Amino acid sequence: MPPVLADSHCHLDFPDFADDLPQVIERAQAAGVTRMVSICTRLDQEPRVRAIAEAHAPVFYAVGVHPMNVGRSPEATVEALVALARHPKMVGIGETGIDLHYSADTRDAQIESLRVHAEAARRTGLPLIIHARDADEDVARVLREERAAGAFGCVMHCFSSGRALAEEALSLGFHLSMSGIAAFKRSDALRAIFRDAPLDRILVETDAPYLAPPPHRGKRNEPAHVALTAQVGAELFGLSLEAFAAATTANFERLFAKAAAWAPQEATA
């Protein structure tokens, strides 16, 4: 049997999976991926993401407004996120964050949206899921300020930023999530950041359908491929795949405690 893994971040509602989602989930389970968190990036898309989680036992979901959708879709409110978090398979707040690569024009609104999501994470006890691109200083500052206002868990999703943001996030007690980018040939600096981080703060993810690791780079990514990223992580930490998988799965279960505690009989119709 393959080692047990969790894909902490994927997008199973995207059109890329419309034709074969049941088979995608089956392949993930065959590869040892027993839990997947499918991320909703717009509040008006929450029903379809929720429906996937309700239909498939290994799938959980998180809800937020992606920073690239801020100002272009319904805005998140603390009250709306708290209400959505009552669902037994809704296990995270986000993804949220700041993206100045594609959406610099909405920077101020993105910062305000991030603060809304952070407050929802505090109120619900669910982890905050952060997207950061070309915005390391802003993200570090806002997370530092929000963490000072009250505790919450947090994962830096698909971490590919600089060392300073990694160190800031780790100092705040947050997690770094390793995606297929860590397996790319030119990612030596990123691999060094992960190698120097505490093992108990590392998660793995696919961000499927994006960022497939070799040998699938350039093709559709899917949750089964998180095992390939985990192999890279194991090599970085000098561990067997089994040991690295066990460590990152334990980290996932601590951070996404609601997913770890879920039992099938709790599923809604």
Q: Return the pLDDT at 264.
A: 80
Q: Return the pLDDT at 189.
A: 97
Cβ of 107: how many Cβ atoms within 10 Å? 16
Interhelix angle for 188-196 vs 163-171, to 10°? 20
Our CA dihedral for 85, 222, 215, 203, rounded to 10 degrees, sits at 20
Kindly report the length of the chain. Answer: 269
11 is in an annotated binding site: yes
Kind of pairing between the strands at 33-40 and 59-63? parallel
In the block, residue with structure tokens 């991926």 = 33
126: alpha, beta or left, given left = phi > 0 and alpha = psi -120 to 50?
beta
Asked if 204 and 237 count as a contact pair (C-beta separation under 8 A), the reply is: no
Task: Please state, in angstroms and rounded to a whole number, the distance separating the CA atoms of residues 227 and 209.
Answer: 15
9 is in an annotated binding site: yes
216 is in an annotated binding site: no
Q: What are 130-161's pLDDT values in tens digits?
A: 999 999 999 999 999 999 999 999 999 999 99
Q: Return the pLDDT at 269.
A: 37
Burial class (CB in 10 A: 0-12, 13-18, 19+), 189: exposed
Q: Return the pLDDT at 265.
A: 66
Asked if 182 and 231 count as a contact pair (C-beta separation under 8 A), the reply is: no
Cα–Cα distance list, 243 to 129, 227, 234 (Å): 25, 13, 8
Report if pTM > 0.75: yes
Please give the helix or strand (H or E) that residue 248 lies within, else none: helix 241-255
56 is in an annotated binding site: no
Looking at 1.10.10.10, 3.20.20.140, 3.40.50.1970, 3.40.50.300, the CATH number of the domain 5-266 comes to 3.20.20.140
Report residues of the chain scoring pLDDT below 70: 265-269
Structure tokens at 219: 């093709």
Beta-bridge partner residues of 90? 61
Q: Return the pLDDT at 69.
A: 98
Q: Where are the domains of the chain?
A: 5-266
